[in-house]
Chain A
Amino acid sequence: SQELEQSPQSLIVQEGKNLTINCTSSKTLYGLYWYKQKYGEGLIFLMMLQKGGEEKSHEKITAKLDEKKQQSSLHITASQPSHAGIYLCGADSEYGNKLVFGAGTILRVKS
């Protein structure tokens, strides 16, 4: 079965600093999803990547999928307190019928 490893497990950054979260898969990624979760709230969809080498950006968040489709990174530029939360990467199964999630990365942004 597919396993996703996220690193780091937790991260504390000073406001304004850049940061990167990584997601590594034990198998080829057919669809890689990034979600954000604030405490006590649901999952907010950020981005989905499918093709090797693909890169997407939304506001100050950029996600990339490597050419081999086994690793993805999420980069936040000039972090703000509103970026704080849990970031989860999820991989779609080969048959497109379920998501397998990484353990999540807890991000705290200090003002």
Chain B
Amino acid sequence: DTAVSQTPKYLVTQMGNDKSIKCEQNLGHDTMYWYKQDSKKFLKIMFSYNNKELIINETVPNRFSPKSPDKAHLNLHINSLELGDSAVYFCASSQELPPRFVRYGYRHGYTFGSGTRLTVV
């Protein structure tokens, strides 16, 4: 069973279209993320959700709207696609640790999906 699964794996679409990428994790993790990897392979966080609540929004354009119907799913909807949106989008999940564990230096693992290669033409 795939721990973090994304669909579709490839997505080719025209400028101006609206598209969605789906992500599901079966690890029972509390937190899910979306990362974007640009053409230079640089990987950067976009959003994180904890138990369906938005935690991190790294100055991503409003055209990107994550939606988390439950803690096992985090979907990414993109409106009015632009050429610069072409990239590989990775979903990830992790288990939240209590703040005192984090302060003591404990860290959890992050599990990534296989990525969705979005090409806007």
Chain B residues lying within 8 Å of A100, measured Cβ to Cβ, are 45
Chain B residues lying within 8 Å of A92, measured Cβ to Cβ, are 107
Chain B contributes a number of interface residues (CB within 8 A of A) equal to 28
Chain B residues lying within 8 Å of A37, measured Cβ to Cβ, are 41
Contact partner, A48, options B105, B109, B115, Cβ 8 Å: B109
Q: How far is the CA of A37 from the CA of B43 in the complex (A)?
A: 11
Contact partner, B48, options A41, A48, A50, A98, Cβ 8 Å: A98
Q: Name the residue on B nearest A106 (C-beta).
A: B41
Is there a chain B Cβ closer than 8 Å to A111's Cβ?
Answer: no
Interface stretch among A14-22, A27-35, A73-81?
A: A27-35
Q: How far is the CA of A92 from the CA of B110 in the complex (A)?
A: 10
Contact B105–A88 (Cβ < 8 Å) = no
Given the interface contacts A98-B48, A101-B42, does A33 sit within 8 Å of B110 by beta carbon?
Answer: yes
Chain A contributes a number of interface residues (CB within 8 A of B) equal to 27
Q: Name the residue on B nearest A33 (C-beta).
A: B110
Q: How far is the CA of A43 from the CA of B109 in the complex (A)?
A: 13
Q: How far is the CA of A90 from the CA of B35 in the complex (A)?
A: 12
Interface string of B8-34 (1 = CB under 8 A from A): 000000000000000000000001010
Q: How far is the CA of A50 from the CA of B109 in the complex (A)?
A: 11
Q: Name the residue on A nearest B45 (C-beta).
A: A98
Q: Name the residue on B nearest A42 (C-beta).
A: B114
Q: How far is the CA of A83 from the CA of B51 in the complex (A)?
A: 37
Q: Name the residue on B nearest A45 (C-beta).
A: B109
Chain B residues lying within 8 Å of A96, measured Cβ to Cβ, are 97, 102, 106-108
Is there a chain A Cβ closer than 8 Å to B79's Cβ?
Answer: no
Contact B102–A95 (Cβ < 8 Å) = yes
25 A-B residue pairs with CB within 8 Å: A30-B105, A31-B107, A33-B109, A40-B117, A41-B114, A41-B115, A42-B114, A43-B90, A45-B111, A45-B112, A48-B107, A51-B105, A90-B43, A90-B110, A92-B107, A97-B48, A98-B56, A99-B92, A99-B110, A101-B42, A103-B41, A103-B42, A104-B42, A104-B43, A106-B41
* B interface residues with partner A (beta carbon < 8 Å): 31, 33, 35, 40-45, 48, 55-56, 90, 92, 97, 102, 105-115, 117
